[in-house]
Each structure stands twice: as structure tokens, then as C-alpha cells.
Chains A and B, each alone.
Chain A
Amino acid sequence: MSTVAQAAADPALRRPGLARLTFVELRKMVDTRAGMWLQITIVALSLLLAVITIFAGKEADHTLKEMLSGTIAPAQLLLPVVGILLVSSEWTQRTSVITFALVPHRSRIIVAKLLACVSLSLVALVVSIVIALIATAVAAPTVDDAWSFSLSALGQDTLGLAAVTVIGLAFGALLLASAPAIVLYFALPTAMAILGGLSFMEEPVKWINLAESASQLTDNVALSGSDWAHIATALIAWTAIPLAVGLWRITRDEIR
């Protein structure tokens, strides 16, 4: 037991920094059974897609650009679930009692989770690129531009992965329950498709079509100015609004 005098001088008694909290959140993503298997599944699916492309794909599919749009797809599909669980499992598994007792300033935890989501999406991008590079080398395509890859495509992939992970986090924060958040996230594209199918809604839906925007980003194709406008509004709408409402709930609600 430390005395009060020691306590004041002890650096251990300082507030935990955001970097440390972010590392803890990254750790929480992989140290549970569900979290571990989710990450393993992403990598396994990515490898599987690379192998299928090598054996079943045509020469034109073996370029680095095409390989990467395949190997990145599992992460794009499943990282939102990682983001959702990072927040919602604190409530469904009731660890929020511990987390927010250790760090009473609740918004700092949410910021750490946000940083952890972005960090994880970068790691996933690097893994996808490495798998795509290996797969391209193995397939050894003889077509022109086999190894070409633009910086803008890389930027789109980075934004695409980070955005879907953070949107997962935002959905988790909004609903504070894993199952409804996951269902909502995966039902949304269908809902958008139905809505967009109505002739008078076709144009407005483009501005909020999240799934369309996300896949456009990681498809490694050049985007027009109007594409970018649609993507920007869709991402901001589906990130900022649920995150703001979620943060408002989390910082005000009783933690139980």
C-alpha cells in the first residue's frame, strides 16, 4: 500500500495515455475466442481467395490489382463485425463495468476504440497486400501492367477498410448490443437495394448507399467526382450520426 506522499510522486498513478488504451483495445479484439476466430477467418478467407484466383482465374485476373481486390474482400466484409463487437461486447459481456471503472472518462475509451479500429484496418490492409503480392508472384502473369499499382488505389483501399471498421464501431455504439448491430449492418445493403429500386428513390439513395460506396473504394477502380461526393456523404452519414448518438448514450447512461 502506498502512502499519499508516495502516491503523488509515483508516475504509475498518472492517467493512462491514449496510446496505451488503444493497445489495450487492440488486445481485446483478439484475446477472446470470438475475436481470435474472426481474425483467423479473415486471413484464411483471404488466402483461400488468392488460391482460387491462382487456379481458377484467367491471366487477366492474376495482376496485383485484381489479386488485391480479392484478398481485401474478407477484411472488408468482416472488419465491421470486429468494430461492432469491440463496443457491443462490453455491454453484452458486461465488461463495461470494469472498463469504465478503470477509466471513468468514458469518451476516452471510445476514442481509444476508434483508434484501435483504424489501426486494425491498416494491419488488415498490409496483410491483404502481402497475400496479394505472394499470389501474384506465384501466378506469374505475363500480361502488361501485372505489377502496376497506383497510389490512389492504395489510398482508396485504406479509406475503404478504415471506414467500414469505424462504421461497425459506430453501429455497435449506437445499439450497444451485438446481434442487432450485426443484423442492421448486413441488412442495410438489402434495404438500400429495395429503396433504390423505387424509381423516385434511385437518385437520393445513391447519396447514402453505404455498401455501394465501400465496395467502390476497395474495387481498385478510378472514381469520378460524383462518385466521391456520394461516397463522402454516405460514409459521413453512417459514421458520424450513429457514433454521435452512441457516444451521447455511453457517456450519459448508467453503466451496468
Chain B
Amino acid sequence: MIECEGLTKQFGGLAAVDDVTFRCEPGTVTGFLGANGAGKTTTMRMLVGLSLPNAGRASVLDGQYRDLPNPARRVGILLDASAQHAGRRGREALAVSAQMIGVPEKRVDELLDMVGLDRSAGRKRIRQYSLGMRQRLGLAHALLGDPDVLILDEPANGLDPEGIRWMRELLRDFADRGGTVLLSSHLLSEVEAVADRFVIIGSGKIVAQGTHAELLPQTGTRVSAVDNDALAEALAAASLAGQPVDDGFVVEAEPEVVGRAALDGRVVLSRLGPAEGAGLEQLFFDLTTAAPNGDVPHARKPAVTNSKESVQ
């Protein structure tokens, strides 16, 4: 479990992280989204005690991270895959940490295997590693202590599509076994497929959080017909208001109701389905590029928090 409460960090009077509150429950993957410099990394650094908050509280596993006796055995961290000694061999970098946290060295080889770094890669010095290889090494490092919680900052950065897919499966499996995952990204597509919940941060403030459904409540039905004029008449006959969009309408009603209206009007439909609005991608973009004062364009303001009412 990870908890942030009113977490605030100022650098030179400017708030890099401003009153951030969220929770990550065991068994879930939380996607921590925000543009570069939005405060994701600073928040994560405060969670693990590398940075001290000016206000608020960060807790991991019901206490402060620094109070865990051997934290790496409970919490796996990847904050910066490039933060490794360039002159150290990949395997050795893991082995040093393994010795430090009291993990048998055979686990190092198991993990190298698991993240897809072969023996020759393990012998290479980290300066020769590509960003993707560093990320894999960083993930192996996070998993070294067989932790209950994973805190990963931009772990997909530099991974190829196959690597991203592999990481998703790994994180899904980790959460399904009861683990808690917090992973950040500035690219929604990297986390959308794996995250159960999203926390979106912009200019240091949480601008939205919740599940996919909570963030993007159903906004009606998208319908198109071979003859859209006939469809408009059919909708009018059923007293449904249709909002014209490029090749059809968005109707504030369930698809079943719209389909029945079309049937009654004997209109051949070419498309009928839930309107997805602009999608999570657009929401993310609008939220994270909002005005610096934190105002969110009203039209797209989502149902914030995880209150049940917002689920439709």
C-alpha cells in the first residue's frame, strides 16, 4: 500500500508538488500520469525518502519508507535507469545490491534471465548498455528483494514494443498476486493497458484520479446510418436529441434505445456503439496541458475521486 497525503515540495519557493493526495491499494496497478516536469518524479522521490517533503505525509506499507528495516525486501524501486555506475558490469551492479540487502547471488542470475539480459549482456559494462537494456536492468534491480510494492518511474522509457508488452504482463501478474504497483509515465498509451487506476498530475497538482470508467463516464451513443438524413428523422420521431458529428450523431441515450428508434424508422445503420468521447488520450492531454494555474477546461472536467456515484 502506498499513501500520499497533502504531499508538498517546494524548490526555491515554487511548488514542484502541491498538496498531492492519493492511495494505491494492494492488488492494483496505478498509472501515475503527467507531462515532463509535472511532479511525478519528485512525488516518487519523496515516497522513498530521497527527498523530504515541505508538508504532508508519504507512507509505504503503513509507515515511512525510511523506517522499514531493510526496505528493498518490501519495496522495489526504479527511479532512474541511467543512475548506474557506467564502469560497472551489469551483473555486478545487481550483485552489489543483492549483497547489500542480503539476497543470495543466484537470484541475480534468475532475474537477469527473467528480464531478458543474457550472460554476455550481464558481463558488459553499463556504459555499453542501451536505454532499453538499462530499463531491464533497473526492473531486475527493483524485483531483487522479492518486494510487495513496486515504485517505478518511467519504466517503459526506451523499451521496445515487445519489452513494453512484457513489462505489462509482469506488472499485471505482480498485482494479481497481491502486489501494489505505482508506475509513472508521460505517455498514456504505455500504461493505459495495464493500469487499474490513474492518477493524473499537472503542474504539481493532482488534476484527476480514478478508474478508466470514472474518468471517462459514458457520454451517450455514437450512431451512423447509410442515410443520415433518414436517421435524423427517425431520431426526431423517437424524440431523441442527436448531436451531429462528422458522419453521424451522438445521442444521449443507451445504444438499445437508439437502435430501436432506427428500426422504427427503417433506417439501415452502419455504426452503433457507445460514444467514447475524445478518449482518455484527449482527457490526459487537456488535463496536463491545462493553464498553469491548474484550471481544467470545464467541459472535460472529469469525475474526480473514486466515489461510486461517478461510475455509470
Q: Is there contact, CB below 8 Å, between A93 and B84?
A: yes
Determine the distance from Cα of A100 to Cα of B65 in the docked complex, in whole angstroms: 11
Give bound CA distance, A249 to B241, whole Å.
66
- CB-defined contacts of A35 to chain B, threshold 8 Å: 87
Measured between alpha carbons, how far is A35 from B86 in the docked complex, in Å? 12
CB distance from B72 to the nearest CB of A (A): 5
Whole-angstrom distance between the Cβ of B67 and the nearest chain A Cβ: 8
Minimum Cβ distance to chain B for residue A16 (Å): 6
Q: Is the pair B100, A13 in contact by a Cβ cutoff of 8 Å?
A: no
Chain B 55-110 interface residues, beta-carbon cutoff 8 Å to A:
65-66, 68-74, 77, 79-80, 82-89, 92, 96-97, 99-103
Q: B83 touching A13 by the CB < 8 A rule?
A: no
Q: Known contacts being A12-B73, A101-B71, A102-B101, is A31 close to B96, with CB within 8 Å? A: yes
Q: Is the CB of A32 within 8 A of B66?
A: no
Interface membership of B306, Cβ < 8 A? no
The verdict on A41 contacting chain B, using a C-beta distance below 8 Å, is no
Task: Indicate if the CB atoms of B66 and A105 lie closer than 8 Å.
Answer: yes
A12-B73, A31-B92, A101-B50 given as contacts; is B99 within 8 A of A94 (CB)?
no
Residue numbers in B under 8 Å from A104 (CB-CB): 48-49, 65-66, 68, 71
Decide: B84 and A20 in contact? CB cutoff 8 A. Answer: no
| Majority-rule SS of B interface residues | loop
Report how far A58 CA is from B60 CA in the complex, Å.
69
Whether B119 sits at the interface, judged by CB under 8 Å, is: no
> Is B40 positioned at the interface, with any CB of A under 8 Å from its CB?
no
A254 to chain B, nearest CB (A): 5
Contact B50 A2, beta carbon cutoff 8 Å: no
Residues from chain A with a CB closer than 8 A to the CB of B49 are 100-101, 104
Q: How large is the interface on B (under 10, 10 to 19, 20 to 34, 35 or more residues)?
A: 35 or more
A34 within 8 A of B: yes
Q: List A contacts of B146 (CB < 8 A).
A: 1-2
The answer to whether residues A98 and B179 also contact, given A13-B70, A32-B88 and a CB cut-off of 8 A, is no
A104 to B101, alpha carbons, bound, how many Å?
12
How many A-B contacts are there with CB distance less than 8 Å? Answer: 104
Tell me the smallest distance from the CB of B283 to a CB of chain A, in Å: 31
Q: Output the least CB separation between A249 and chain B (Å).
A: 14
Which residue of A15, A24, A100 contacts B69 across the interface (Cβ within 8 Å)?
Answer: A15
| B51 near A255: Cβ-Cβ < 8 Å | yes
Interface centre among B50, B177, B179 (most CB of A within 10 A): B50
Provide the A221-246 mask, 1 if CB < 8 A to any CB of B, else 0: 00000000000000000000000000
Q: Is B301 an interface residue (CB 8 A)?
A: no
- Report if B279 contacts A (CB, 8 A): no
Contact residues in A for B65 (Cβ distance below 8 Å): 104
A90 to chain B: closest residue by CB: B85
| Cross-chain contact of A27 among B70, B72, B96 (Cβ < 8 A) | B96
- Taking a contact as CB atoms under 8 Å apart, the answer to whether B69 and A14 are in contact is yes
Category for how many chain A residues contact B: 35 or more
User: For B23, what are the chain A residues with a Cβ–Cβ distance below 8 Å?
Assistant: none
A40 is an interface residue with CB less than 8 A from chain B:
no
B177 and A1: CB pair below 8 A? yes
Closest to A31 in B: B92
Task: Say whether B197 faces chain A, with CB atoms less than 8 Å apart.
Answer: no
> Measured between alpha carbons, how far is A254 from B51 in the docked complex, in Å?
5
Instruction: Answer yes or no: B148 CB below 8 A from chain A CBs.
Output: yes
- Enumerate chain B residues within 8 angstroms of A97, measured Cβ to Cβ: 50, 79-80, 83
Interface members, chain A 1-51 (any B CB < 8 Å): 1-2, 7, 10, 12-16, 20-21, 23-24, 27-28, 31-35
Q: Which of A100-144 contact B (CB under 8 A)?
A: 100-105
Residues of B within 8 Å of A255, CB to CB, are 45, 50-51
Are A23 and B99 in contact, with the CB atoms below 8 A? yes
Is the CB–CB distance between A21 and B100 below 8 Å?
yes
**B97 adjacent to A102 (CB under 8 Å):** yes
- In the complex the two chains form, is A256's CB within 8 Å of B96's CB? no
Instruction: List the B side residues contacting A105 at CB < 8 Å.
Output: 66
Is there an interface contact between B72 and A102, defined as CB atoms closer than 8 Å? yes
With A101-B72, A102-B72 in contact, is A33–B80 under 8 Å at CB?
no
The 8 Å CB contact of B99, one of A12, A27, A32, A101, is A27
List the A residue with the shortest CB-CB distance to B79. A97
Question: Measured between alpha carbons, how far is A121 from B48 in the docked complex, in Å?
Answer: 34
**Residues A94 and B97 in contact, CB atoms below 8 Å apart:** no
Would you call A98 and B141 a contact (CB within 8 A)? yes
Which residues of the other chain, B, contact A7 by a CB distance below 8 angstroms? 73-74, 148
Known A1-B147, A24-B99; further 11 A-B contacts with Cβ < 8 A: A13-B69, A24-B100, A32-B87, A34-B87, A93-B84, A94-B84, A97-B50, A98-B83, A254-B50, A255-B45, A255-B51
Please provide the 7 A-B residue pairs with the shortest distance between their CB atoms, ordered closest to farther.
A104-B66, A94-B83, A33-B87, A32-B87, A93-B85, A15-B69, A255-B50
